[in-house]
């Protein structure tokens, strides 16, 4: 075993661990910022949502950021889609309103869960294998040191201490890389459980509120069209001679207003 090969392998091990450390701290920073933003937007939207007089008013909240806002947005879109009965005959619309709403909310929650869990597998992998990578570098370095000792024929402390001490550095670096990765992984797993419990409770409450409102969220476009039709009828005095062009123009005016 040559000194060059030993040096390359040990140095490569240390470089790998340093790269893993950079990735670990980058992920911890990114996930930390993500959770801060999520907590802020969820608190903001929750305050606005529960401060609304009813679920119909809550449907017009402008906040589209954060998991809770996106889950609510899917819920409102589903209620508007099924208002007055779904005209589409496909498997996606074979559910009743409550089942379809619950299904869409769960699908969006799974998307949010995937976003929350992104990157955690990398942290878990680094935390698991880093000590073993460091140990590999240490073992290889000690093997090279023992080979050199056998060639020199001397086992004095001066000969043994230097090479073996350098080899043990790899194990120390491996542990130093693994500890932040494991701590970060456990921390974010805990935070994800908190966020998931919040979304789960919010989805259940949303379904109950929708049930109290008979799953009716008026479609703003439909209301504008109906208002335009009503005004057109008044203008024409109940006659049907208004014509399609006048009606389209009035609908466009009402929608713009």
Mean per-residue pLDDT over the chain, rounded: 78
In percent, how much of the chain has pLDDT > 90? 31
195 and 236 housed in the same domain: no
Do residues 129 and 232 share a domain?
A: no
Q: Considering its fold, how many domains does the chain have in total?
A: 2
Are both 135 and 226 inside the same structural domain?
A: no
The whole domain housing 16 covers 3-217
Q: How far is CA 134 from the centre of its chain?
A: 32
Report DSSP letters for 139-201, one per residue: HHHHHHHHHHHHHHT---HHHHHHHHHHHHHHHHHHHHHHHHHHHHHHHHHHHHHHHHHHHHH
On whether the CB atoms of residues 44 and 63 are closer than 8 A, the answer is yes
Residue 256, classed as helix, strand or coil, is helix
13/30 same-domain check = yes
Average the pLDDT over 127-133 and give the result.
Answer: 93
Give the model's confidence band at 230: pLDDT under 50 very low, under 70 low, under 90 confident, else very high: low
Is there a single domain that holds both residue 213 and residue 242? no
- What is the tens place of the pLDDT at every residue in 153-193? 666 666 666 667 777 888 899 999 999 999 999 999 999 99
In the predicted model, what is the mean pLDDT of residues 106-127?
92
Band (pLDDT 50/70/90 cuts) for residue 49 is confident
> Do 183 and 255 belong together in one domain?
no
Flag whether pLDDT at 255 surpasses 70.
Answer: no
208-219: pLDDT as tens digits = 888 887 777 766
The reported pLDDT for the residue numbered 19 is 95
Instruction: Look at residue 227 in the predicted model and tell me its pLDDT.
Output: 42
């Amino acid at each position: 075993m040559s000194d060059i090969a030993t040096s390359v392998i040990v140095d490569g091990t240390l470089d790998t661990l340093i790269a893993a450390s950079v990735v670990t701290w980058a992920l911890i920073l990114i996930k930390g910022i993500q959770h801060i933003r999520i907590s802020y937007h969820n608190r903001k939207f929750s305050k606005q949502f529960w401060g609304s007089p009813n679920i119909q008013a809550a449907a017009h909240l402008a906040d589209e950021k954060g998991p809770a806002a996106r889950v609510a947005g899917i819920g409102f879109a589903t209620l508007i889609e099924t208002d007055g009965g779904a005209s589409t005959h496909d498997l996606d619309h074979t559910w009743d309103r409550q089942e379809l709403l619950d299904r869409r909310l769960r699908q969006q929650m799974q998307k949010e869960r995937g976003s929350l869990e992104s990157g955690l597998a990398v942290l878990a992998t680094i935390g698991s294998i880093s000590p073993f990578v460091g140990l590999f570098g240490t073992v290889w370095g000690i093997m090279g040191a023992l080979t050199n000792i056998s060639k020199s024929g001397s086992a004095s402390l001066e000969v043994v201490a230097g090479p073996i001490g350098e080899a043990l550095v790899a194990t120390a670096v491996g542990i130093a890389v693994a500890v932040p990765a494991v701590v970060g992984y456990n921390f974010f797993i805990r935070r994800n459980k908190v966020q998931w419990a919040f979304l789960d409770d919010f989805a259940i409450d949303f379904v109950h509120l929708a049930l109290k409102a008979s799953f009716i969220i008026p479609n703003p476009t439909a209301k504008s069209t109906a208002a335009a039709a009503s005004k057109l009828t008044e203008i024409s005095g109940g006659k049907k001679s208004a014509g399609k062009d006048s009606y389209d123009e009035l609908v466009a005016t009402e929608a713009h207003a």
